[in-house]
């Protein structure tokens, strides 16, 4: 459960999150999420302010991001994203993911409801499934990294489809339905593992910058 509360000392709103009583068996997982959030300090990730136990239930307090998530932006506000706008949003998301991976943290739940948008800024929320894999071998981390990249590809497709109007009754693959630059198609295929996937953020960012440049005119 999440509550919007006002911090009287800071005169700011905070989000207070706790497990539902019916999910107390997941308390250990919830505490792991708190431990993970403690080590994350990035402007695109809500800051953890406090945590404590109340009647054996873990509770934590974090920044409140007053904005819409990408799902609300698309399906409630009917917002659309051009190819270039979608790529620019992805670029800000890559910044956050690259930071996480440098900390050996993998989000593993990159979906449009977990991407907050406010005043042109992008925030990543909900670290309930995230993993601190610092003690895991590189082979395991590589698979987690690929999962985050795949999910970013899926997010990008969601954004790109906001301007798509189907004229055919039969659904076709995105490669046929969407009219995209060759640079964006190449990057998407690598993100989704349709061709040799990305090994690291440097490779991804190089292709992303090329796609942004190709769609800037």
Q: Which residues contact 53 (CB under 8 A, 6 or more apart)?
A: 59
Nearest to 127 by CA among 35, 23, 20, 37: 37
Residues across the chain: 217
Active site residues: 109
Q: Which residues contact 142 (CB under 8 A, 6 or more apart)?
A: 199
Please say whether the beta carbons of 52 and 59 come within 8 A: yes
Nearest to 128 by CA among 22, 2, 7: 2
Torsion angle of C-alpha atoms 167, 169, 171, 177, degrees rounded to 10? -10
DSSP state of 194: S
For residue 73, how many other CB atoms are within 10 A of its CB? 21
Q: In the Cβ-directed half-sphere of 146, how many Cα atoms lie within 13 Å?
A: 15
CA distance 97 to 106: 8
């Amino acid at each position: 459960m999440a509550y919007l509360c006002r911090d009287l000392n800071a005169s700011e709103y905070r989000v207070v999150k706790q497990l539902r009583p019916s999910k107390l068996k997941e308390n250990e997982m919830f505490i792991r999420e708190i431990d993970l959030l403690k080590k994350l300090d990035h402007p695109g990730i809500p800051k953890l302010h406090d945590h404590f136990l109340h009647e054996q239930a873990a509770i934590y307090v974090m920044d409140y991001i007053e904005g819409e998530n990408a799902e609300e932006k698309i399906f409630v506000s009917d917002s659309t994203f051009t190819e270039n706008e979608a790529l620019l949003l992805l670029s800000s998301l890559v910044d956050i993911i690259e930071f996480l991976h440098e900390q050996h943290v993998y989000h593993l739940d990159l979906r449009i409801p977990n991407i907050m948008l406010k005043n042109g800024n992008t925030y990543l929320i909900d670290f309930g499934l995230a993993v601190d894999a610092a003690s895991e071998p590189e082979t395991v981390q590589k698979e987690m990294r690929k999962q985050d990249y795949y999910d970013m590809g899926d997010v990008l497709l969601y954004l790109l489809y906001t301007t798509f109007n189907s004229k055919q009754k039969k659904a076709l693959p995105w490669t046929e339905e969407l009219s995209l630059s060759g640079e964006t198609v190449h990057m998407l295929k690598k993100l989704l593992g349709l061709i040799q996937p990305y090994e690291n953020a440097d490779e991804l960012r190089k292709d992303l910058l090329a796609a942004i440049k190709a769609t800037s005119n």
